[in-house]
Chains A and B, each alone.
Chain A
Amino acid sequence: QSMLSQPPSASGTPGQSVAISCSGSSSSIGSNTVNWYQKVPGAAPKLLIYSNDQWPSGVPDRFSGSKSGTSASLAISGLQSEDEADYFCAAWDDSLNGWVFGGGTKLTVL
């Protein structure tokens, strides 16, 4: 029932760069900003990027976000083993009048 679409998996080797996409609609990503989160088992989801491309305090600039039309992307450069986690996107949806989320992308660092 995810309203935003993400690839289920992504992978890369240490030092490489990887991008995770998030596709929505005109009422969600097309009209509002996108936020990205990192989820590690047993821990609370951590905000990585807000308002499409802004960094919360403490998040390294290896993580970057962008948005174009009804799609958004999270890029991770200089992959590290600790980046292995689930990543999900979120946006407000004007039709639902509520939040919608991506299904999550499991990133594996090979």
Chain B
Amino acid sequence: NAGVMQNPRHLVRRRGQEARLRCSPMKGHSHVYWYRQLPEEGLKFMVYLQKENIIDESGMPKERFSAEFPKEGPSILRIQQVVRGDSAAYFCASSTTGQSQPQHFGDGTRLSIL
């Protein structure tokens, strides 16, 4: 499968635990984006990364959330000390360049907080 791969598909955490979401971009894509989809709301941009660099994290909450895209391996979205309001679907997308190219999305990770 040459598409964007996200895992896990579903993740359940208790309040206060950490959540790690992984994303492997499409082959040949070096630009990765994370979006969050809250129930009954649209997709909202969170962060844009290239290999080893965070380009724009303006859509990400200042506390508890972090993202990385290391030289080797998948991009990781990390949420520390999760709260009920973090329950959402988190989507990763990738593209060949950062401008005027379609972003291709993975199937998302559905995060549920107990």
**Is A bound to B?**
no
Chain B residues at the A interface, C-beta cutoff of 8 Å? none
